[in-house]
Amino acid sequence: MAAFSSSTAFDEAGKAKTKFMAAVFGYLFIGLLITSAVALGVGFLFAKLYWTGEVVGGAHVISEQGTMVLFGLMIGSFVLLLIDQVAMSITAFKSGKGLWIWYVLYAVIMGVFFSTLLVAGIDFATMGEALGITAVCFLVMFLVGYFSPANLSAFGLIGLGLLIGVLLVSLFFGIWFLIAPGSFYIWNLVSSLIIVFAMMLFIGFDANNMKKIVERGGAISNNVAMYCAMNLYVDFITMFIRVLWLIMAFKDR
């Protein structure tokens, strides 16, 4: 009888684990899908409104008004993303479905931000190449983090330290750039590699935390699953942007 109870408890734990993982990756997929759809939609609308019809050097010319709108979209979406991420962190462990609103809004705003990259002339082949590399790195690090028997909290600390270091050095290079503009390209290349590595560490760290949540059992809820998906979403998108920039840099674009 005791053996039967243990077996039943084990089956229930397995089902809960599977349900939680399915929810996390389902939310992650929905977020990426919304971002892609918005990026294509806004990019198409922008092209209809602000491309002049002229082509210079193989690229479409954007009207003066379009250029202002483009910069406004970039700056505005970046600020809104920061605000939305703070709101999601506050809402994550509260009851109710309010987190859905912030998550969908974040994915939409990120789509608007990505539309500016499409408008800037980045071709789909390059974006597809960056997406493939990012997906492989993401999957490898997620598996490492989730199935590792060790506590990978150090991954999070190292990743955070790397990002803070990049930020501090970037402040210095922001001043140095005025003196030697050519050095900014080199630092941007180095910092992108560091950020990609930091994001890989964060993916491993977040996956390891997900395993701990599943093992605790009691902390599992839709909001927690969505918050985990949000962390993975941010890791994926941040790494994708830097991988995309590196590919463009190596192609001398």
Give 201-211 pLDDT, tens digit per residue: 999 999 998 88
The predicted pLDDT at position 113 comes to 83
Q: Give pLDDT tens digits for 99-136.
A: 788 888 889 988 888 887 777 667 778 888 998 999 99
Low-confidence residues in the chain, pLDDT < 50: 2-6, 9
The predicted pLDDT at position 148 comes to 87
The predicted pLDDT at position 97 comes to 63
Q: Which of 180, 178, 176 is nearest to 168 (CA)?
A: 176
The predicted pLDDT at position 26 comes to 92
User: Does residue 220 come out as left (phi exceeding 0), alpha (psi in the -120 to 50 range) or beta?
Assistant: beta
The predicted pLDDT at position 27 comes to 92
The predicted pLDDT at position 52 comes to 59
DSSP secondary structure letter of residue 113: H
DSSP secondary structure letter of residue 52: E
The predicted pLDDT at position 176 comes to 63
